[in-house]
Amino acid sequence: MAVFSMPSLGADMEAGTLVEWLVKPGDAVTHGDIVAVVETQKGAIEIEVFEDGTVAKLLAEPGQTLSVGSPLAIIAAAGEVDQEVPAPMPAKPSRAPSISSTGIAASPAARARAAELGIDLARLKGSGPGGAIVLADVETSKVSPEPIAAASDRAAYLSEMRKAIATAMARSKREIPHYYVSHTVDLSAASDWLDAANATRPPEERLLMGALLAKAIALAAAAVPEVNGHYAADRFEPSAEVHLGLAVALRGGGLMAPAILNADKLDLSALMAAMRDVTTRTRAGRLKSSEMSMATLTFSGLGDSGVEAMAGIIVPPQVALVTAGGPQPMALVRHGAVVAATAVTLILAADHRVSDGRLGAKFLLAVDKFLQTPEAL
């Protein structure tokens, strides 16, 4: 028997509200199945199960707000008998995000349909459990006669997300002794290769410089394991796999960094497709629990802003964050002469409990090296 519990979907999460069950007692489940939807300060998340077995009992009701770690269901392996488990622990109301305060509780089907129709979920009234928006609400919806109310719902959602970011970043600054290493990378080779590659590719197969940067960072993380993993229980646990968190900014403010699993093992086209997919689903509010919690290192690019560089704050329990300014023409010195070339400035923020500046330098130089042979990425 295994107890299926409210997962932690990031360092900023203390509780979540169960929106709906996608399984019932007696259903067979296997590792990776999506079994429930939970509303958090960062929107609704599809929750995956990590055991194989049969759903023996559901312990929580849709609409309940539960602390991280509270039992939600019992998953039995074949032939097992049911056992008593503790009742779910209701979260302290003052700390838990309520559905009404975010206004965006919705089932995945409703979200998908709303995205198809171009309907803003913040404009809909939900008829599902706890006021969650279900598919029928989307199908029968009309444009809200009160756009001001819709705008304030979106503002409330972004305000909740701002609180979640504040909690996580304040914790990071309090607990993690950050150090920073900066390095400017000549992107001439990468830029030329990218232009040539995209000229022959149809739009759906085109690459962005961000994908090349992400791949180089993931490969460097595999080579320098001290930046890749989680810090938990007073020790660093390096990860053999590189799950690269990708910071995605939301319009009007707000930020999420879902993980692209095994990013170092994906070829550029597959990585680009994964980046597009995760960006689209972040915007639509359809991320999975594994994507919310498994990142081992995060990459945040300000590629579209034109600024030169950004120094970031590590996302706990990770131990490093790589930020990039916008790739742009810079004055570089080559063979003793100043030349204008496309370049990008990377800044590594890393955890001094785990590594030192020399190690950070080694990591950024590894990223640089990978970017000089873009055809091998």
Partner 1 sequence: MTEDEIRKSYIEELIRVAPDLDAATISGGDHLQDDLELDSMDVLNLVIALSKRFGRDIPEADYPQIATADLAVAYLGNLPGESDRLI
Residues that bind partner 1 (CB under 8 A): 114-116, 118-120, 147, 154, 195, 198-199, 202-204, 206, 208, 210, 249-252, 275-276, 279-280, 283-284, 303-304
Q: What gap in Å lies between CA 248 and CA 32, rounded to an integer? A: 24
Supply the minimum distance, in Å, between the C-beta of residue 284 and partner 1.
Answer: 6
Amino acid at the residue 54: T
Nearer to partner 1, 224 or 377 (CB): 377
Report the relative pairing of strands 259-260 and 229-232 from DSSP bridges: unpaired
Residues 6+ apart with CB under 8 A from 149: none
Nearer to partner 1, 174 or 251 (CB): 251
Nearer to partner 1, 26 or 203 (CB): 203
The string over 270-305, giving b where at least 16 C-beta atoms fall within 10 Å of a residue's C-beta and e elsewhere, is ebbbbbeebbebbebbbbbbbbbbbbbbbbbbbbee
Helix, strand, or coil (residue 334): strand
Q: Which H/E stretch holds residue 173?
A: helix 147-175
Nearer to partner 1, 23 or 248 (CB): 248
Q: What gap in Å lies between CA 66 and CA 96, rounded to an integer? A: 8
**Backbone angles phi and psi of 194, in degrees to 5:** -65, -45
Supply the minimum distance, in Å, between the C-beta of residue 195 and partner 1.
Answer: 8
Supply the minimum distance, in Å, between the C-beta of residue 149 and partner 1.
Answer: 13
The string over 67-78, giving b where at least 16 C-beta atoms fall within 10 Å of a residue's C-beta and e elsewhere, is bbebbbbbbbee
Supply the minimum distance, in Å, between the C-beta of residue 366 and partner 1.
Answer: 25
Supply the minimum distance, in Å, between the C-beta of residue 164 and partner 1.
Answer: 18
Supply the minimum distance, in Å, between the C-beta of residue 70 and partner 1.
Answer: 31
Nearer to partner 1, 84 or 195 (CB): 195
Supply the minimum distance, in Å, between the C-beta of residue 207 and partner 1.
Answer: 9
Report the relative pairing of strands 297-301 and 244-246 from DSSP bridges: parallel
290, 259 contact by CB (below 8 A)? yes
Nearer to partner 1, 153 or 351 (CB): 153
Nearer to partner 1, 252 or 329 (CB): 252
Closest CA to 286 of 65, 63, 155, 112: 112
